[in-house]
Amino acid sequence: MEQLPITVGFDGSEFSKTALRKGLQMGRRLALPVRVIRAWSISNAPRPANWSKGYVPPIEEFAEAVLAQVKEQTAAIIAEFPEVEVIFSVPHGAAGRELIRASETSEMIVVGTRGSGGFSGLLLGSVSDQVVGHASCDVLVTRKLSGDQAPPRTLTLDASIEDDV
C-alpha cells in the first residue's frame, strides 16, 4: 500500500516556515514523506536566470526558478530532519486550488495561519480558509510561536475569557 505524503503549503513566509517544521516533525514521527508545495503565478514567481527586459521566458523556466527558490528557502529547516524524505512540487496556479488538488493524494495538509500576502491582524488567511473548507484530507493549521497571530481581542466574550485565565 502506497504511503501518502504529508503535504505542506510553503510560500516563504514565517507562517509557512512554522508549517514546514511541523510537517517535517509529523513526517518523522509517522515515517511518512513530506511534500512541499509552492504554487505560483507569473506575478509572484522569481525571474528566471535568462530573463531580460522585453523577453518573457517559457513557463518551464519560471517553474525551475520557483523550484530553486523554494529549495533554497527550505534547506536549513529540511536539514534538521535528514531522515524525512522530502518531495517538492511547484504547480502553476492559485495556492488554494493547488493545495486542495494535492489534498486528494495526501495523508494531511499542513498550512500556516497566513501566508506572505496576509493582512496583519487576520486570524486565518484566505488560502488556509479555502484549504480547511475544501480539502479531501485532514488539515492542520499551524500558528507562529510569537508575533502577530490574530486581531486584537476587543469583543466582550474575548475580554471575559482573558479575565478568567
Q: Annotate 12-45 with DSSP letters as a single string.
A: SSHHHHHHHHHHHHHHHHHT--EEEE--B-TTTS
pLDDT at 42 over 80: yes
Q: What is the pLDDT of residues 45-75, one digit of tens each?
A: 888 887 788 877 889 999 999 999 999 999 9
In the chain, the DSSP E strands lie at 6-9, 34-37, 86-89, 108-112, 138-142
Rounded to whole angstroms, the maximal C-alpha distance in the chain is 61
**Domains parsed from the chain with CATH numbers:** 6-164 (3.40.50.620)
Q: Which of 21, 35, 34 is nearest to 143 (CA)?
A: 21
Strand arrangement, sheet containing 108-112: 86-89, 34-37, 6-9, 108-112, 138-142
> Grid coordinates representing 3?
504511503
Q: What is the pLDDT of residues 104-155, one digit of tens each?
A: 999 999 998 865 444 444 444 578 888 998 999 999 999 876 655 544 444 4
> Grid coordinates representing 127?
488560502
